[in-house]
Each structure stands twice: as structure tokens, then as C-alpha cells.
Amino acid sequence: MGEYMPSWDPDGSHSPNSLFAASFAQTGFAMDLPSAELFYELLPAHYVRVVRRRG
């Protein structure tokens, strides 16, 4: 990752994990969790028929 060093510390030794942690420290992270009902809306619909002879 030598050619992609951050401008705030070009001589430091950084891993992808340390750069990821630094980006969250600088900008934060806003989680947008969907509602629980969205799960049911995304399920595929299956239509069934009840056959009285079989029960």
C-alpha cells in the first residue's frame, strides 16, 4: 500500500485495518437499520391450495 498512503501520515506503516479504523475516527459511522417489517416485505410469495381429501 505504499502508493496509497494517507496524506496526514505518508511515512507511517499502515495496514488496511488501521486505515479503516482511522477513517471511522475522523468521520464516524451512522448506521441506518431497516425496520423489522422490511424482512417480510422482501420474502417471496408462495401460494398454496388446500386439498380437502389429503387434509
27-46 per-position pLDDT tens digit: 887 778 888 888 888 899 88
Domain enclosing residue 34, as ranges: 2-42
In a domain, 48, yes or no: no
Residue 3: what pLDDT? 66
How many other C-beta atoms can be found within 10 angstroms of the C-beta atom of residue 2? 7
Alpha helices in the chain (DSSP H): 16-27, 37-42
| pLDDT for res 2 | 52
6 and 14 Cβ atoms separated by less than 8 Å: yes
Q: Is residue 8's pLDDT more than 80?
A: no
Indicate the number of domains in the chain: 1
Long-range contacts of 34-42 (CB under 8 A, 24+ apart): none
Rounded to 5°, the CA angle 9-10-13 comes to: 80
Tell whether 9 is covered by a domain: yes
C-alpha 54/C-alpha 48 separation (Å) is 13
